[in-house]
Amino acid sequence: NLCKGLPTHKNKVTVPVMDKPPFGKPYKDPVFGAKVIRISDTQKGEVVKPMYSTIQSWNADESLMILYHTGGNPDNLGHHLYDGKTYKHLRKLDITAKDIEELYWHHTDPNVFFYVSANYKDYGYFMKYDVAADKATKVADFMQYCGREGVPVSGNDVQMPPLSDDRFGFRCNDGRGQETGFIYEVSTDKTWSVPMGEGLKYDPWNAPMLGPSGKNVRLMSYILDDTLKENYELDLYEYHSHASLGRLANGHDALFATAFDPAPGGCDGGPDKGVGSLTVHDFEEKTCRVVVGEFNGYGYPGSGTHVSAVGHKVPGWALMSTIGYYNLEYLSNNKQAPLLFSEIWLVNTDPANFEVCRIAHHHSWAKAAENVSYHGYLGEPHATLSPSGTRLVFGSDWKNSGSVDTYVVELPAYVK
């Protein structure tokens, strides 16, 4: 039980007014009691952060982790390797990935990750990186979809690949205006594609993303099969709300999502008409369910809520981080804040074992930060669950401090 030893009450609490914790020294969250460690030591204008809530920071056995650095010395810009247990910085990785989020640890081989290169030598190539050898090798290029100068991307809703690590979803522009979404299968070197673009069914800023089984593909609000033939449409008011692909406790592929507006179909007639801080859509049963919402006492979703269902060894668990942009005064006014404001929290979505536990306050202003030389978005927590679910990582500018640091939480269930 990942929530063991953590509070599960729904009491409103006061966010403690406290200085940024010292680097490398564990502290106990004053309200919820979790063990938190600041693992980076940024200077003003610098950012060290997790890649994104839907992209795993730790490798398969959690012995290594990757964080993104920007700001400050331009030589430090990029992805950096850390010891996954001591959190010691090891080195800057000798790669240039297309985007912060588009780097994927292998689910079973702790020595391997994949990425799309933006380096001039292998621009646009899909690459496989061997950490021990410090060497990248080409897996494929996609000139048939991208032309000679295009770079495949994973769309606005980047997700981890299936557990097999054999299929990856991308989209690309061929340089003549044709956008294409496609799936690439490593073992066979085959692709399956679908046209995208203005005036077509699929918007050009998305890409097909595969569920953990590799059998289901999400593209916007649609679920397609593994050859990109359309299956059915999800009951979503808007497909671009924050969401994470993962597995339910029953083993089914699912979308774990935040919903601010009623679902067009009413979310199967369930409570709150599909509105909730956390909803789940079961791809096998084609069902919609509100897990955390007003109906069970958690109120309307807070702004800036992100979802992380990438703890693939603990299906059914979802890690949440909520900012609450319209209530930032509660970071310093010593008054009881709205429920889940500025919190990192964890949910067991299994109906037979439902539980919500509260972990820590992240204290970040994020996009509302004023004392910044970087984009405030980089200060969003983007809390990410580890493969085992016993740890998590998040970023914070710690009350508009002028820099962003990374923090690790070791849950009571974590065993070193």
- pLDDT tens-digit profile of 204-217? 899 999 999 999 99
Q: Running DSSP on this structure, what letter comes out for residue 294?
A: G
What is the residue-wise DSSP string for 13-72?
Answer: -BPP--PPPPBT--EE-TTT--EEEE---PPTT-EEE-SBTTB--B-TTSSEEEEEEESS
Segment among 245-249, 336-340, 369-373, 394-398 with least mean pLDDT: 369-373
pLDDT of the residue at 381: 99
The mean predicted confidence, pLDDT, of the chain is: 97
* Encoded amino acid at 25, one letter: K
What's the CA gap between 128 and 361, in Å, rounded?
36
pLDDT of the residue at 384: 99
Residue with tokens 């069970």: 296
CA-wise closest residue to 20 among 404, 410, 329: 404
Q: How many CB atoms lie within 10 A of CB 164?
A: 15
Average pLDDT of the residues in 239-244: 97
pLDDT band at 32 (very low <50, low <70, confident <90, very high): very high
CA-wise closest residue to 374 among 401, 393, 343: 401
For residue 61, pLDDT beyond 90: yes
What's the CA gap between 317 and 5, in Å, rounded?
16
Give the chain's domains with CATH numbers. 1-93+242-416 (no CATH), 94-235 (2.130.10.10)
pLDDT band at 371 (very low <50, low <70, confident <90, very high): confident
For residue 300, pLDDT beyond 90: yes
Give the percent of the chain with pLDDT over 90.
Answer: 96
pLDDT band at 148 (very low <50, low <70, confident <90, very high): confident
Average pLDDT of the residues in 32-51: 98
pLDDT band at 416 (very low <50, low <70, confident <90, very high): confident
pLDDT of the residue at 231: 96
pLDDT of the residue at 235: 98
Report which secondary-structure segment, H or E, holds 91: strand 89-92
pLDDT of the residue at 155: 87
Average pLDDT of the residues in 345-366: 99
Using DSSP bridges, classify how beta strands 317-321 and 343-348 pair: parallel, antiparallel or unpaired. antiparallel
pLDDT of the residue at 274: 98
Strand partners, 185: 167, 190
What's the CA gap between 328 and 312, in Å, rounded?
33
pLDDT of the residue at 285: 98
Six-digit token string for 148 = 């000679």
pLDDT band at 149 (very low <50, low <70, confident <90, very high): confident
pLDDT band at 15 (very low <50, low <70, confident <90, very high): very high
For residue 289, pLDDT beyond 90: yes
Average pLDDT of the residues in 13-42: 98
pTM for this model (two decimals): 0.97
What's the CA gap between 80 and 93, in Å, rounded?
5
pLDDT band at 324 (very low <50, low <70, confident <90, very high): very high
For residue 229, pLDDT beyond 90: yes
What is the residue-wise DSSP string for 146-205?
Answer: HTTT---B--SS-----TTS-EEEEEEE-SSS-EEEEEEETTTTEEEEEEESTTSSS-TT
CA-wise closest residue to 299 among 2, 7, 12, 6: 12
Give the percent of the chain with pLDDT over 70.
Answer: 100
Answer for the pair 162, 179: CB distance below 8 angstroms, yes or no.
Answer: no
Average pLDDT of the residues in 372-378: 95
Phi first, then psi: what are they for 115, rounded to 5°? -165, 165
Tens-place pLDDT, residues 83-95: 999 999 999 999 9
Tens-place pLDDT, residues 164-181: 999 999 999 998 889 999
pLDDT of the residue at 157: 86
- Within 227-334, residue ranges assigned H as helices are none
